[in-house]
């Protein structure tokens, strides 16, 4: 049974076969992790199941540090209207809290500005269950955002520099945590045309320490082609090797 579970998880977290099993992630979280957490108190093969928040943390077996934050209720993806409900949970805060599992897998503390969260558009994802990628930020994204910090404010604007072949909208968000500020709702309310076609959107949150020393985030969105937010993450965690 363990070999079957591992095979399914390898498919669902990014292997080419993942597209052939678009419901594999849901089956792992709902059929295995949530069930085992309820029956035996261990969320195997997940790292965490929080029934109060309604989320699970799934390890990526292909990449050393990445984890996925997944709702335990059925939510297909970024286009789900439930994500814009102000009464709903803030999955981005739960994903940010899950960075401790990235640190655990890296076996070292990781600075907030070396971490990023990402969700892909409906056109580029392999799984039909909402999942937020949690891992290191790519060196390119880190360098671009740091260089343009003074031009990034609290209203969505064009970044002005393409990354991974896509043009991006960007805004700043102050504070150590998201709290009740949900990036899904900020995207829908602030980027022109986003609310009308959320399925084309990809969304990324990059941890930041701004030039004045205060903590916060950069939020980035793109709806170009098969928008792919995960491309701003680096599963090899080069930022850790460089110590930047």
Instruction: Grade residue 240 by pLDDT with cuts at 50, 70 and 90.
Output: confident
Examine the pLDDT at 66 and tell me if it is beyond 80: yes
Tell me what pLDDT residue 170 has. 98
Distance CA 178, CA 97 (A): 10
Examine the pLDDT at 8 and tell me if it is beyond 60: no
Distance CA 154, CA 201 (A): 19
pTM of the model: 0.92
pLDDT in tens, 180-216: 999 999 999 999 999 999 999 999 999 999 999 999 9
For the structural domain made of 2-242, what CATH number should be given? 3.30.428.30
C-alpha 24, offset from chain centre: 18
3-state secondary structure of 92: helix
Going from the C-alpha of 50 to that of each of 10, 19, 31, 61, 197, the distances in angstroms are 23, 27, 15, 21, 31
């Amino acid at each position: 049974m363990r070999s079957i579970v591992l095979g399914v998880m390898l498919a669902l977290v990014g292997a080419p076969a993942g597209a052939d099993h678009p419901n594999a992630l849901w089956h792992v979280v709902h059929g295995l992790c949530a069930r085992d957490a309820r029956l035996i108190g261990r969320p195997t093969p997940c790292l965490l199941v929080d029934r109060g928040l309604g989320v699970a943390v799934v390890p990526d077996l292909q990449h050393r540090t990445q984890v996925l934050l997944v709702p335990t209720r059925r939510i297909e993806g970024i286009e789900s209207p439930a994500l814009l409900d102000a009464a709903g949970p803030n999955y981005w805060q739960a994903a940010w809290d899950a960075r401790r599992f990235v640190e655990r897998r890296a076996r070292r503390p990781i600075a907030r500005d070396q971490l990023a969260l990402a969700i892909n558009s409906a056109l580029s994802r392999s799984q039909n269950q909402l999942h937020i990628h949690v891992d290191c930020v790519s060196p390119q994204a880190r360098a671009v955002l740091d260089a343009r910090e003074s031009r990034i404010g609290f209203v969505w604007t064009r970044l002005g520099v393409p990354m991974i072949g896509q043009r991006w909208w960007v805004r700043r968000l102050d504070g150590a945590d998201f709290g009740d500020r949900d990036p899904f709702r900020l995207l829908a309310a602030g980027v022109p045309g986003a609310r009308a076609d959320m399925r084309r959107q990809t969304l990324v949150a990059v941890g930041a320490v701004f030039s004045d020393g205060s903590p916060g985030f950069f939020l980035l969105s793109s709806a170009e082609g098969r928008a792919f937010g995960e491309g701003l993450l680096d599963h090899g965690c080069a930022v850790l090797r460089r110590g930047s």
